[in-house]
Structure 1
């Protein structure tokens, strides 16, 4: 199969909402996610995607910043590949594309968070050479 890896055009950002809802178990409505993604694309954010021909099958947000301990870094966020495409090495190919893209932009580190209960992702990230640096905490205001 000829998959296409690319940065999604900002005017198509809402097309990723169904995949993000699958990742998060539909906990946020379309309206909330549309509002949030509309804000995100005005910040240090890009959205990497995977297409199988015209079908959107994978998504990964990319947040950019500079941190005192890691330098210029990119943080992949809400990584999701459609269930029908898993187990084919597509996640590895997607992250290889992301690594090359981030390096070409001058970034020197990748950091990410993954849900505690998502043990398959932990195995994937360990296999990709990621190390656990700390805990991610969240408090809703």
Structure 2
């Protein structure tokens, strides 16, 4: 199976919504996600994707910023690989592609958040060399 890793064009950003909908138990309407992704695409955000032939099977948001504690940093967000493609080493290949992509752009660190209950992701990220730095808190206003 030929896998293609790339940055999706901003004009095609809505194509990631079905995968992002599978990511979490807390669902938003497609209209809400479309509005948010269109706004995100006009910020310091890019979206890395995986295609298997013409089928979109993986996604990860990339937020570019500079942080006082980590320098030029990229936060990966909503990382998801479709169920039928898991446990084949594709996640590791995807992250290796992302690491190279962001390093080539001059960024020096990568960070992420993962849901507390998503234990398989914790093991995966520990194996990738990530360390827990703190807690992520959210308050809806």
Q: Shorter-normalised TM-score: what interval?
A: over 0.9
In the alignment, what sits opposite 2:115?
115
Unaligned ranges ≥5, structure 2: none
Q: CA deviation at 1:26?
A: 5.9
TM-score by length of 2: 0.99
In the alignment, what sits opposite 1:4?
4
Separation in 2, partners of 1:63, 1:55: 24
Mapping 1:119-130, distance limit 5 Å:
119-130=119-130
Matched, 1:44 2:44: yes
Unaligned ranges ≥5, structure 1: none
SS state at 1:111 partner: strand
Separation in 2, partners of 1:39, 1:125: 28
1:61-110 per-residue CA deviation (whole Å, 9 max, x = no partner) reads 00000001100000000000000000000000000000000000000000
The count of corresponding residues between Structure 1 and Structure 2 is 141
Change (3 A) 1:45 1:69: same
CA RMSD for the aligned pairs? Answer: 0.7
SS state at 2:123 partner: helix
Q: Which has the larger displacement, 95-104 or 17-26? A: 17-26
1:30-54 per-residue CA deviation (whole Å, 9 max, x = no partner) reads 1100100010001000000000000
Q: CA deviation at 1:25?
A: 3.1
In the alignment, what sits opposite 1:97?
97
SS state at 1:58 partner: strand
SS state at 1:34 partner: helix
TM-score by length of 1: 0.99
